[in-house]
Amino acid sequence: MKISCVPLTLSLLMAAALPSLVQAQTAPAAHSLSFEQARAALFERSEQLAASSKAVDSARLRREGMEGLGGPSVAVIGLGYRYSANVDLDLDPARRALGNGLSLLPPQLGGAVAQLPSLPSNYNLQRKNTAASASLAAVWPLYMGGLGNAVRSELDAMTDEAMADAASSADQLQTLLVQRYFTSQLAERAATLRQRALEGVRAHDDAAQRMLKAGVIAQVERLQASAALADAQQQSRKADDDARLARSALVRTVHANGAVRPSSPLFVSSEALPPLQRFLDSAQSRHPGLSKVAAKRRQAESLHDATEALRKPQVLAFGLREVNTSGKPNWVAGVAVRWALWHSIDRDKLSAAGQRKVEQAELTDAQVRSDIGLLVEKNWLAVEQSRSQYLSGQAQENLARELLRLRQAGLREGTSTALDLIDAQLNLAKVQTERASVANQYVQALAALLESTGQADEFSRYMARADIQITSDAP
């Protein structure tokens, strides 16, 4: 004979819930955090985004610093020096010439000159001094074969590459935020469902113990209830651990100061996505990876132009003027032309290497476009499959709810056992958890799709338009 245990179950359920209520009152409260708030905190505090911004600033400043490349330059040249000059003069030729000259003089004059001291055979001249000089030098390249433009173009391309990397980092971080935010939401819902199921199983386990003492059920049914309780406790602990880890990951992602509780629910849109071609077109024009490949190609072309510029003649004007406060300063000005006729470096091979770089960039662009197209299609299909799976799972949830209702009614009427009710409760929790997991798969696939098409910023718009929301508090 079967008896009803509903009053007993209700009282035991309240008793089991009391410790958790006390714990909730003493635990530190977590502040609510919407997805938009999390996104704003991420962009404000992320070191990765800050580093990407610094890289862009560095590239831009480097380009601005080279704006005047190829223009005139003026320099001040100052010299301070001390010198010592030693010269040994040979006077023998002078002596011989003087002797020959004296022989031609009149005797009276020649005798007088002969009495003068004779010249030495050599004379050592020494001069030492300390001096300083200053001058202004100016150089103005008139023609460099396009070298300056090639360097500036390469720096422009390097700036574009840094900007593409920054955009890619921002998109990846947004996708990571979606993953951790809604995974935390899913974990909270799973923990709630498992806790509710555990409370029901614990109440029915206590009821089974009383029924065994009353001789209503057999020992094997009591053991089955105990086994169900142990499994429910293990599943609840695991769900709590998963939720705690997910919350910790979210806190670290947004750099929050304390515990947070995600308030934006999981969502699914019953409406199908726009056609695949629309996303493919967006990816071909907005994906930061393609912008980076294009910047790499421009760098290769600029490097090739710079190599070709070195083959051409270089013409520059120059001037040098002494800075002299007294007297008339010296100066010089002119035009110089330099054209290397032969060089130890094989410029033909350097030019060919630059051309190969350009060709490599072209092939890489084609490959990246193909890979991105395949990735977009994969993500688009994943979103549609998750949406279809979630919608089709409604029938299973309805069945699980109806089965639970029948088991509750059967227990009151004595046609069902407590174990039947436990199975129905666990089955409903299982179905609801699986559907929430599918909703999370939908959200993650949508974020991946938008990232692969260069539309990561559009995630909030899709979230606002969704007509199905799955909160962490299961109904």
Q: pLDDT by residue (tens digit) across 107-158? A: 655 455 455 556 566 767 778 888 788 889 999 999 988 989 999 999 999 9
Asked if residue 458 belongs to a domain, the reply is: yes
Whether residue 119 lies inside any domain: the answer is: no
Looking at the chain, the whole-number percentage of residues with pLDDT higher than 70 is 85
Cβ(269)–Cβ(465) below 8 Å: yes
User: Residues 46-101: pLDDT tens digits?
Assistant: 899 999 999 999 999 999 999 988 889 999 888 887 878 777 766 667 666 655 55
Q: What is the mean pLDDT of residues 146-172?
A: 93
Is 210 among the domain residues? yes
Average pLDDT of the chain to the nearest whole number = 84
What is the average pLDDT across 453-470? 94
State pLDDT tens for residues 6-17. Answer: 333 333 333 333
Token pair belonging to 316: 């520059």
Q: Cα separations (Å) of 371 from 161, 274, 345, 357, 452?
A: 19, 21, 39, 21, 10
Confidence class of residue 331 from pLDDT cuts 50, 70 and 90?
Answer: confident
| Contacts for 225 with CB less than 8 Å, ≥ 6 apart | 201, 204, 205, 208, 209, 418, 419, 422
**Tokens coding 13:** 């359920």
CATH of the domain at 306: 1.20.1600.10
pLDDT of residue 24: 39
**Residue 179 lies inside a defined structural domain of this protein:** yes
pLDDT of 22 higher than 50: no
pTM exceeding 0.95: no
Q: What is the pLDDT of residue 212?
A: 82
Region 327-354: what's the mean pLDDT?
Answer: 86
Residue ranges with strand state E in 102-190: 122-143
Amino acid identity of residue 326, one-letter, is S
Question: Residue 174 domain-assigned?
Answer: yes
- Ordered strands of the 314-322 beta sheet: 73-90, 122-143, 314-322, 331-338
Instruction: Give the model's pLDDT for residue 297.
Output: 93
Residue 27 in domain: no
pLDDT at 264: 92
* Whole-number Å distance between alpha carbons of 380 and 345: 53
What's residue 32's pLDDT?
Answer: 87
Domain that holds residue 368: 6-17+33-70+146-311+348-470
Distance of alpha carbon 16 from alpha carbon 10, whole angstroms? 10
Q: Does the pLDDT of residue 337 top 50, yes or no?
A: yes
The pLDDT of residue 204 is 81
Residue range 421-445: average pLDDT? 91
Q: Tens digits of per-residue pLDDT, 216-246?
A: 778 888 888 888 889 989 999 999 999 999 9
Q: Are 240 and 191 within 8 A, CB to CB? A: yes
- Ramachandran region, residue 88 (left: φ > 0; alpha: ψ -120 to 50; beta: rest): beta
pLDDT at position 105? 54
Taking alpha carbons only, the member of 79, 43, 433 closest to residue 266 is 433
At 294, which amino acid appears? A
Domain count across the chain: 1
Query: Which whole-number Å values give the CA distances from 121 to 98, 102, 112, 113, 114, in the listed order?
Result: 13, 18, 21, 18, 17
What integer is the mean pLDDT of 337-361? Answer: 87
Buried/exposed 37-75: b ≥16 CB within 10 Å, e otherwise = bbbebbeeebeebeebeebbeebbeebeeeeeebeeeee
- Whether 157 maps to a domain, the answer reads yes
Q: Where are the beta strands (DSSP E) in 270-371?
A: 314-322, 331-338
Residue scoring higher pLDDT (3 or 385): 385
Q: Which two tokens stand for residue 363?
A: 């092939």
If you average pLDDT over residues 336-357, what whole number do you get?
Answer: 86
> Which H or E run contains 69?
none
- Tell me whether strands 331-338 and 468-470 are parallel, antiparallel or unpaired: unpaired
Flag whether 132 is in a domain: no
What does the pLDDT read at residue 25? 42
Low-confidence winner among 84-88, 231-235, 400-404, 464-468 (lowest mean pLDDT): 84-88
